[in-house]
């Protein structure tokens, strides 16, 4: 990937080689990501880096803004299908079940926190692959949860926003205590 592009591209170019996971408090996690229009080598490189970071940090999914890139791209691996990996571009949830389930979720961008999050049990996602081919996929259970989590990231939302007020208070208290423990 070239780093010698127009200035509007610098954020992407700088962020990818570093590939640090951005954590709570970083404003990029609150940004609405931009739709991808160029299905080029740059996009493939971004997806490749995201896959590497996801595996390195033992995540099941990763959104581009978690490594500081404000593009609507997510990667994930399916624990129900031999860890098969996917890179999805411009994903949108077009249908979701009324049935919801609550499970404990963690997030690479909120390290050390695990909280109960209620999500639709089943969703239909429309997206594109790295070549721009449209896909429509129905997901149930854990894969549906992963997709909802990552698409939330792409819209600037975090699990804290989905947790109940009590859960959020508990987790924020834990995070403050962790931070104090690190300082002392």
DSSP for residue 163: S
Q: Residue for token digits 């499970």? A: 103
Stretch of 39-47, 92-100, 106-114, 174-182 contacting Zn ion, by CB under 5 A: 106-114
Minimal CA–CA distance to 152: which of 16, 34, 30? Answer: 30
Cβ distance to Zn ion smaller for residue 15 or 107: 107
Could you tell me how many residues of this chain bind Zn ion (CB under 5 A)?
Answer: 1
Active-site annotation holds for 150: yes
Choose the binding region for Zn ion from 4-12, 50-58, 101-109, 113-121 (rule: CB under 5 A).
101-109
Which residues, other chains included, contact 133 with Cβ-Cβ below 8 Å and sequence gap of 6+? none
Across-strand partners of 61? 76
- CB 111 → Zn ion: shortest distance, Å? 10
In whole angstroms, how close is the CB of 6 to Zn ion at the nearest point?
A: 30
The DSSP bridge partners found for residue 63 are: 74
Least Å from the CB of residue 107 to Zn ion: 3
Which CB, 37 or 178, lies closer to Zn ion? 178
- Considering only the stretches 6-14, 105-113, 130-138, 174-182, report the one whose residues sit in contact with Zn ion under the rule CB under 5 A: 105-113
Cα within 13 Å of Cα(65), Cβ side: 25
Could you tell me the smallest distance in angstroms from the CB atom of residue 120 to Zn ion? 17
Task: Count Cβ atoms within 10 A of the Cβ of residue 174 and give its class: 0-12 exposed, 13-18 middle, 19 or more buried.
Answer: middle
Q: Check residue 107 for interaction with Zn ion (CB under 5 A).
A: yes
Q: CA triplet 159, 163, 169: central angle to 5 degrees?
A: 105
Q: Does 53 bind Zn ion (CB under 5 A)?
A: no
Considering only the stretches 22-30, 68-76, 103-111, 113-121, report the one whose residues sit in contact with Zn ion under the rule CB under 5 A. 103-111
Minimum distance between the CB of residue 59 and Zn ion, rounded to whole angstroms? Answer: 8
Q: What is the Cα–Cα distance from 81 to 100, expressed in whole angstroms?
A: 22
Out of 150, 155, 166, 183, the active site residue is 150
Residue 51's SS3 state is helix
Residues designated catalytic: 150
Rule CB under 5 A: which residues touch Zn ion? 107
């Amino acid at each position: 990937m070239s780093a010698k592009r127009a200035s509007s591209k610098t954020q992407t170019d700088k962020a990818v080689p570093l590939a640090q996971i951005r954590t709570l408090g970083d404003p990029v996690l609150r940004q609405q990501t931009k739709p991808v229009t160029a299905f080029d080598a740059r996009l493939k490189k971004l997806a490749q880096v995201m896959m590497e970071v996801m595996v390195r940090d033992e995540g099941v999914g990763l959104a581009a803004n978690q490594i500081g890139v404000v593009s609507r791209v997510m990667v994930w691996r399916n624990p129900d299908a031999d860890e098969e990996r996917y890179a999805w571009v411009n994903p949108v949830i077009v249908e979701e079940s009324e049935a919801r389930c609550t499970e404990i979720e963690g997030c690479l961008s909120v390290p050390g926190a695990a909280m109960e999050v209620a999500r639709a049990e089943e969703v239909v996602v429309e997206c594109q692959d790295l070549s721009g081919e449209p896909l429509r996929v129905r997901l149930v259970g854990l894969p549906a949860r992963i997709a909802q989590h990552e698409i939330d990231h792409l819209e600037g939302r975090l699990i804290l926003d989905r947790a109940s007020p009590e859960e959020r208070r508990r987790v924020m208290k834990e995070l403050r205590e962790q931070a104090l423990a690190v300082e002392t």
